[in-house]
């Protein structure tokens, strides 16, 4: 949309005013209060709620994707950070990670971990990250890294290849520093590299999956990102030639965009079909749960009705006892208790009342028995219906289990492409 120049100027001035307030805020912000380690600062995002609110309420220039981009840029400038340093907003926390250099032995089996022996590193791992708890903590940060730092929407493939190693090291180092009592920089770096090797493939596969997922949704930036990996020589708008840079899998097979697009469409459809089956299974389970509740309610109604019959039978028995006594007595009048009150009544009249009450109770008993019969029929119908739904549930569950166990035929091709892209992204 083409906005009038005067309006555009007002927006720019508005952001310019916000920038001044942010700069002033950050100049007065005492970062030393939030020092977790010589290489890490950490504080809650609400510590900067004042300037975040300003950013939310102003129109950001197009170069910024969100308020986080502005915040990162301003913190970099204010704190005079280096290019390999990291600012990460994740789960309501802001981390500032300073990249540091360490010396590693040039030779030896432990050189990849700054010279630290593997058994030492494994001991640290078990001590600070039992049951592989480091994986959950790393991936919690990784989601934010992929969204904000290594996002295909913000950087090109060449930029990605320059950035991803120091970014991942910084990210894992945050976990090591925040969840251990290690202080020595060399030990921290060695532990970081040790844990990073453990999760590296999964981290890269996650990045590849994110790009491919958005590519399948026809995200323009994802398409542009993947188009960089051409299997043929390309010429840019400036007439510069670029060598082929294909996405190669473990068999050295190059994947072109047409095949990737076709695979992603099929993969998406298969996942949607599985998703629909799972939703259908959930619906069947809800139906079964409802059926169970309804059957329990009907059974409760039967128990109540049976109790009512017992009470009616008891009343009929008492009437029979009274009638027997009246028949055995020659007295014209008799004393009886009604509603807790002793009364004197004519024997014949009382007998007539008893017979009438007996008839009423028999009629009532017949009605309750019919109700029980109706409920029993309803329960039988519910049971038949439940049997059908249980069969559907079992069959659906087995189908889903088979699909998940064996996968869709297209899944293997997708995984090959995913691994190939992850591998290609790591080539520097």
Domain boundaries, the chain: 262-420
In the prediction, which pLDDT does 424 show? 94
333-338 and 341-346 beta bridge pairing: antiparallel
Q: Which helix (H) or strand (E) holds 288?
A: helix 257-328
Q: What is the C-alpha separation between 407 and 401, in angstroms, rounded?
A: 9
Summarised one tens digit per residue, pLDDT across range 337-358 is 666 666 666 777 878 888 898 9
Q: pLDDT band at residue 15, thresholds of 50, 70 and 90?
A: confident
Q: Is 339 left (phi over 0), alpha (psi -120 to 50) or beta?
A: left
Joined tokens for residue 106: 């040039």
CATH class of 262-420: mainly alpha
Model confidence at 103: pLDDT above 60: yes
Mean pLDDT of 101-129: 82
In whole angstroms, what separates CA 351 from the centre of its chain?
75
**pLDDT confidence tier of residue 108, bands split at 50, 70 and 90:** low
Q: Are 125 and 187 in contact (CB under 8 A)?
A: no
The three-class DSSP label of residue 57 is coil
Closest CA to 67 of 86, 45, 83, 82: 45
The pLDDT confidence band at residue 7, using thresholds 50, 70 and 90, is very low
Instruction: Rank 143-152, 247-256, 398-407 by mean pLDDT and report only the highest.
Output: 143-152
**179 pLDDT tier (thresholds 50, 70, 90):** very high
The two tokens of residue 37 are 């380690």
The mean-pLDDT minimum among 111-115, 136-140, 209-213 falls in 111-115
Per-residue pLDDT reduced to its tens digit, 358-386: 999 999 999 999 999 999 999 999 999 99
Q: What is the pTM of this model?
A: 0.74
Q: List, in sequence order, the alpha helices (H) in 149-256.
A: 157-178, 185-216, 220-227
Contact 263, 218 (CB under 8 A): no
| Average confidence score pLDDT of the chain | 89
Q: Tell whether the model's pLDDT for residue 322 goes beyond 70.
A: yes
Give the C-alpha separation, 351 to 263, whole Å.
Answer: 91
End-to-end Cα, the chain, rounded Å: 39
Closest CA to 103 of 113, 117, 88: 113
């Amino acid at each position: 949309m083409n906005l009038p120049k005067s309006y555009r100027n007002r927006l720019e001035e508005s952001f310019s005013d916000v920038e001044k307030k942010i700069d002033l805020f950050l100049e007065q912000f005492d970062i030393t209060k939030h020092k977790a380690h010589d290489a890490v600062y950490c504080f809650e995002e609400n510590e900067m709620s004042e300037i975040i609110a300003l950013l939310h309420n102003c129109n950001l220039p197009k170069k910024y994707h969100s308020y986080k981009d502005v915040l990162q840029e301003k913190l970099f400038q204010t704190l005079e950070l280096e290019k390999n340093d990291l600012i990460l907003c994740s789960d309501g926390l802001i981390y500032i990670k300073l990249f540091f250099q360490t010396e590693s032995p040039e030779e030896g089996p432990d050189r990849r971990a700054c010279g630290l022996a593997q058994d030492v590193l494994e001991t640290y791992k078990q001590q600070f990250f039992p049951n592989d708890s480091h994986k959950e903590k790393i991936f919690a940060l990784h989601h934010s890294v992929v969204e904000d730092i290594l996002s295909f929407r913000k950087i090109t493939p060449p930029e990605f290849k320059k950035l991803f190693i120091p970014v991942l090291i910084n990210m894992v180092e945050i976990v090591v520093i925040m969840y251990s009592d290690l202080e020595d920089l060399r030990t921290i770096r060695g532990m970081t590299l040790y844990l990073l090797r453990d999760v590296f493939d999964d981290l890269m596969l996650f990045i590849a999956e994110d790009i491919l997922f958005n590519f399948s949704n026809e995200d323009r930036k994802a398409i542009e990102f993947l188009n960089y990996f051409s299997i043929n020589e390309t010429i840019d708008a400036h007439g510069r030639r670029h060598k082929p840079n294909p996405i190669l899998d473990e068999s050295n097979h190059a994947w072109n965009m047409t095949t990737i697009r076709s695979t992603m469409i099929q993969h998406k459809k298969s996942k949607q079909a599985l998703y629909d089956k799972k939703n259908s299974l959930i619906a069947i389970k809800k139906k079964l749960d409802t059926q169970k509740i309804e059957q329990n309610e009907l059974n409760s109604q039967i128990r109540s009705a049976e109790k009512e019959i017992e009470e009616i039978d008891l009343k009929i028995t008492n009437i029979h006892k009274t009638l027997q006594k009246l028949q055995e007595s020659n007295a014209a009048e008799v004393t009886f208790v009604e509603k807790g009150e002793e009364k004197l009544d004519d024997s014949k009249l009382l007998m007539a009342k008893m017979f009438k009450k007996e008839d009423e109770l028999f009629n009532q008993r017949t009605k309750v028995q019919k109700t029980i019969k109706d409920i029993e029929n309803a329960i039988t119908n519910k049971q038949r219906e439940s049997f059908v739904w249980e069969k559907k549930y079992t069959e659906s569950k087995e189908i889903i289990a088979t699909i998940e166990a064996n996968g869709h035929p297209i899944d293997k091709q997708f995984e090959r492409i995913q691994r190939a892209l992850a591998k290609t992204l790591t080539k520097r």
